Amino acid sequence: MARTPVQESLRVVFYSHDSQGLGHFRRNRVLAHSLAQRLPVVTGQDVTGLLVNGVGGAHTASVPRGFDVVTLPAVTKTGTAYGAGRLDIGLSAVTALRSEIVRATLGAFAPDLVVVDRHALGVDGELAPALADLRATRPAARVVLGLRDVLDAPHAVAREWSRAPVSVVRELFDEIWVYGDPRVHDLRATGELPAALHDMVRFQGYLAHGRVEEPAGLDPDRPYVLTTAGGGSDGMALCLAAARAQVPAGHGHVVVTGPQMSDADHRAVERAATPRTRVVRSVPDAAGLIRSAAASISMAGYNTATETIATSVPALLVPREWPRTEQVIRAEGLAEQGAADVLRHADLSSARIGEWLTTHVGRRTDRAHLDLAGLSSVARAAAHLIEAAPHPEVRPLHPTRDRSPQEVLAHAG
């Protein structure tokens, strides 16, 4: 599949809507690192790209060489409803602004590959005009919808798919990449994905092995056990229970509350901590801490779960249960495969955490039966798509200038 080297780099754009937490941006950043490393070997071309996201403060130092970050005006989410983030102009005005920024970015950057994380058309259809423009003006560009292993309960996901009609997805996207192992969870079989899109699905495996290792930024005395709460905005109950838990003899305990936990909640966790428990706000690379831990306790977000199953460290998952059941489904699927233990919120207590730690520190968990090679699989899939793309030509089939997301959806549907 190797191509004759040419001067110009391949151009890749990763989009994530990012309304809460850091998971979408982190997943795209991991993918960017993988393509930056692996695509030049396969295609003979260097890779340059953009990570388009809605989380302020995304540090460019954490992205691969040749990549930069485009930050969209923020949106926020309460329950299942979106709203404007920082701007006091209403959601429709914010998404219109975000839509124009993305459309201008794709038009000027002219990518060879666009990877959209989780929400096919973004917030309130904001991606539709940009993707329609790209199809019209750069038909050789490939567009992929990247899905984590679990979306949500089928009835909840059905509402989301009603805002991204199958006909539109089929017109604007070339493939759907699922970053998981269907033996753990198959979102086609559960009804999370419309049947008319099943033929577009390519399971890639978990994005686990081959992640770029960064300094953890913290080097606790060993042995130690670890508790992490992802971004931390909804991790207060877990962190409090963990901070108060009895620490196994001869071990320290590190609790990472997360950069999005409120200052007041973080201080409460600090006050609750036992003498051998150290509470920190955040670390550059939680994966490094997980690899060296004697046992790991965490929520069950995609990134933390995959960073954990890439190791043999015993894991206790305490999944978030509202407003989505995604983490519960993931945790239970991994537990059925013997890859982790699960503690539901109704049973969460310092005593239960202490008991689990005492019986699991120092053990090893074999996860070799899982497909953990998603990063290398994605690179091969990207190379294949780019190689198979038609010869570039300008073909203005569906001009979308000055059309709203709703008009694009109506036209495509």
Q: Residue 285: what pLDDT?
A: 80
Check if the beta carbon of residue 70 is closer than 8 Å to that of residue 31.
no
d(CA 396, CA 229): 47
Q: Sorting pLDDT into bands at 50, 70 and 90, what band is 79? A: low
Q: Indicate whether 263 and 240 sit together in one domain.
A: yes
CA distance 382 to 300: 28
pLDDT digits (tens, 9 = 90+) for 287-341: 999 999 999 999 999 999 999 999 999 999 999 998 889 999 999 999 999 999 9
Q: What is the pLDDT of residue 367?
A: 98
Task: Tell whether 242 and 178 lie within a shared domain.
Answer: no
Q: What is the CATH number of the domain that holds 196?
A: 3.40.50.2000
- Domain shared by 259 and 147, yes or no: no
Confidence of residue 19 (pLDDT cuts 50, 70, 90): low
Q: Do residues 332 and 237 share a domain?
A: yes
Residue 374 — pLDDT band, cuts 50, 70, 90? Answer: very high
> What's the average model confidence in pLDDT over 194-207?
98
Coil, helix or strand at residue 121: coil
In the predicted structure, residue 130 carries a pLDDT above the cut 70 = yes
238 and 116 in a common domain: no
5 occurs within a structural domain: no
pLDDT at 405: 62
The verdict on residue 2 lying in a domain is no
Query: What domain range is 168 assigned to?
Result: 10-208+373-412
Tell me what the pLDDT averaged over the chain comes to: 90
The answer to whether residue 366 is domain-embedded is no
Q: How do residues 26-67 score in pLDDT, each as one tens digit?
A: 899 999 999 999 999 999 999 999 999 987 655 666 899 999
Higher pLDDT, 17 or 187: 187
Q: Is the backbone of residue 210 left (phi > 0), alpha (psi -120 to 50) or beta?
A: left
Which residue in the block uniquely carries the two structure tokens 């199958």? 166
Angle ∠(56,160,379) on CA atoms, nearest 5: 60
**In this structure, is the dihedral angle defined by the CA atoms of residues 122, 123, 125 and 131, taken in order, positive or negative?**
negative
Q: How far is CA 125 from CA 38, 91, 313, 353, in A?
A: 32, 12, 41, 42
Which residue carries 């199953």 as its tokens? 309
Q: pTM score, two decimals?
A: 0.90
Give a yes or no: residue 368 inside a domain.
no
285 domain-assigned: yes
Q: Which of 334, 360, 386 is the last residue of a domain?
A: 360
Higher pLDDT, 410 or 182: 182
Are residues 337 and 251 located together in one domain of the fold?
yes
Strands 75-78 and 81-84, sheet pairing: antiparallel
Query: For 231, which DSSP code?
Result: T
310 and 201, same structural domain? no
Pair (122, 237) in one structural domain: no
Judge if 149 and 176 occupy the same domain.
Answer: yes
| Domains in the chain, number | 2
Same domain flag for 305 and 400: no
Query: What is the structure's pLDDT at 394?
Result: 41
Cβ(126)–Cβ(98) under 8 Å?
yes
Residue 396 has what pLDDT? 40
**Is 124 in the same domain as 261?**
no
Residue 219 lies in a domain: no
What percent of the chain has pLDDT above 90? 77
Q: To 10 degrees, what angle do helices 128-137 and 91-109 make?
A: 20
Residue 1 within a domain: no
Contact 360, 334 (CB under 8 A): no
Residues 65, 191 within the same domain: yes
